[in-house]
Structure 1
């Protein structure tokens, strides 16, 4: 198993903002807990002013966006290690599978585990598993993301 290359979690909103192309109010990650070349662990506490709420819970679309931004955060940190100061822009190309088992409430923290399955040119196949703060799996997905710059 690869070693976590982070000395401490990144929690600063400013640092996170520098690692992803998304900007407020469309940010769905707030912590990078762990980083290896092929894996990452991210976190997000659902804010009460989130754009993607559904009756006091993060919507299914919000969970999918969180998983995609978790990959983006992994990529942004990887780029920062290489000296890149601007995160690359990307988008979800294909959602191969997605399973939403629960939706976190406003104020609840979620943790997502991303793993790069393979990469071909600018297309990355990634799996993601999201857990609530009780360690219960609430979402899983496999998607392909495309980097455009």
Structure 2
């Protein structure tokens, strides 16, 4: 649920994702469920981790798993056709666990914010 990793600058990455018809996380009202927003944020963190791994010489990107969600706040649920922009900030990393903060917007308006711990599987280096 990430269309593009737009930029990476140090500990900050930005992704985008357009909500499309047929998305698994769409509710009956046609809006993306809160769990879908969470999944997009987690995949944004994973895209950033994959970029970092490739920069470090890994042959494949790591697989990540949501370990914990804290302080998740969904301000509104995006509709089909809206493009989400998510900024992920790496707060700390220890033994394959990334602690990130994230803010998601669509059309310049806040969608959600959270802190997450994402567990990353080790990757094979070249």
TM-score (norm. length: structure 2): 0.91
Higher strand share goes to which structure? 2
Paired residue for 2:4, among 14, 21, 31? 31
**1:41 partnered with 2:22:** no
Gaps of 5+ in 2: none
| C-alpha distance after superposition, 1:101-142 (max 9, x if no partner) | 111111110100000001111111100000012x11110000
| Aligned residue number for residue 111 of structure 1 | 85
Instruction: Please say if residues 91 and 147 of structure 1, whose CA atoms lie closer than 8 Å, have aligned partners that are also in contact.
Output: yes
Paired residue for 1:60, among 34, 42, 55? 34
| C-alpha distance after superposition, 1:65-106 (max 9, x if no partner) | 000101001111112222323111111111121000111111
Partners of 2:59 and 2:22 lie apart in 1 by 29
- Consecutive aligned runs of 4 or more in structure 1 exceeding 6 Å deviation: none
Gaps of 5+ in 1: 1-27
CA RMSD of aligned residues (A): 1.0
Instruction: Please say if residues 59 and 103 of structure 1, whose CA atoms lie closer than 8 Å, have aligned partners that are also in contact.
Output: yes
TM-score (norm. length: structure 1): 0.78
Instruction: Please say if residues 46 and 109 of structure 1, whose CA atoms lie closer than 8 Å, have aligned partners that are also in contact.
Output: yes
Higher relative contact order (CA 8 A, sep 6+): 2
**1:98 partnered with 2:72:** yes
